[in-house]
Amino acid sequence: MTVMQPRKRVGLVAHDAKKDAMVAWTARNRTKLAEADLWGTGTTGGRIADATGLAVTRLKSGPLGGDQQLGAMIAEGKLDILIFFTDPLAAMPHDVDVKALLRISTLTQTVIACNEATADFIIESSLFEQAYRPESEPDG
């Protein structure tokens, strides 16, 4: 992993039952997110952009390849933070893609939030607005 720059590159994705929560979270954190480069999967990215006016680069829908697009960005060192509001109680036909996305995020020391509380801690951290390099580099 290279050094994360002060301007963070953030991926935003939410399962269907969590999309409203994601839109509300991004609206509450609009000021800080406006200082980041944002990518969102399909519907999630569109709903965030429509509700907040934030510039969100939209990828494909998660089940149609958006999760894999985010994973590729992470593998290439093009994403610093993944905010992924998951619904652990719903069966997902693309569960394999979700697991692969979380696996590559963990392996590359990408910051991950799978719920609102963790996302709050990330965006309120002083590290969100400064350069950062984890002490341990992933094996590669």
Please list the active-site residues.
67
Closest listed residue to residue 27, CA positions, set 54, 45, 58, 46: 54
* Angle of helix 116-124 versus helix 19-28 axis, rounded to 10: 20
Give the SS3 label for residue 135: coil
- Determine the Cα–Cα distance for residues 82 and 10; give it in Å rounded to an integer: 6
- Determine the Cα–Cα distance for residues 27 and 25; give it in Å rounded to an integer: 5
